[in-house]
Amino acid sequence: GENVEQHPSTLSVQEGDSAVIKCTYSDSASNYFPWYKQELGKRPQLIIDIRSNVGEKKDQRIAVTLNKTAKHFSLHITETQPEDSAVYFCAALGVSPNDYKLSFGAGTTVTVRA
C-alpha cells in the first residue's frame, strides 16, 4: 500500500514568516493529495487538495505544489498568523486495484510565535 512520510514533525515560525511542510509518497500511481488542518481537540478539516494533473494550486495564503517525478508534495503557508497554529496532515490516495484508500503522514505541529 501507499506510504507517506511527512517532515518536519514540528515547526515554529515567527508571525508573518512562511511555513513549508514536505511529504513524500511511495505509490507512483497516486493521483490525489489532500492536506488537513487539525486544531487542538477538533476534527481534521480539509484546507486544500491537489490532483496529479496539476503542479500547483493556491488558495489565498495557502499553496500546494506537487512533483510527480520525485513523488513529493509540499504545503506552503505565507504571512503566517496565530490562527495558523495547528497540526497539519498530508495524505495520498493509493490507487492500486481495490486500494482506493488515503494514507496519512504523521503530522506537523505548527506553532506561530507572536
The residue ranges that bind another protein (CB under 8 A) are: 1, 6, 31-32, 34, 36, 42-46, 49, 89, 91, 93, 95, 98, 100-107
Q: Find the shortest distance in angstroms from Cβ 6 to another protein.
A: 8
Q: How far apart are the first and last CA of the chain?
A: 41
Q: Find the shortest distance in angstroms from Cβ 112 to another protein.
A: 21
C-alpha cell at 107: 503530522
Nearer to another protein, 9 or 14 (CB): 9
Q: Which helix (H) or strand (E) holds 106?
A: none
Nearer to another protein, 67 or 100 (CB): 100
The per-residue DSSP string of 36-64 comes to EEE-TTS--EEEEEEETT-SEEEETTEEE
Q: Find the shortest distance in angstroms from Cβ 47 to another protein.
A: 10
Q: Find the shortest distance in angstroms from Cβ 32 to another protein.
A: 5
Which residue(s) pair with 33 in the sheet? 50
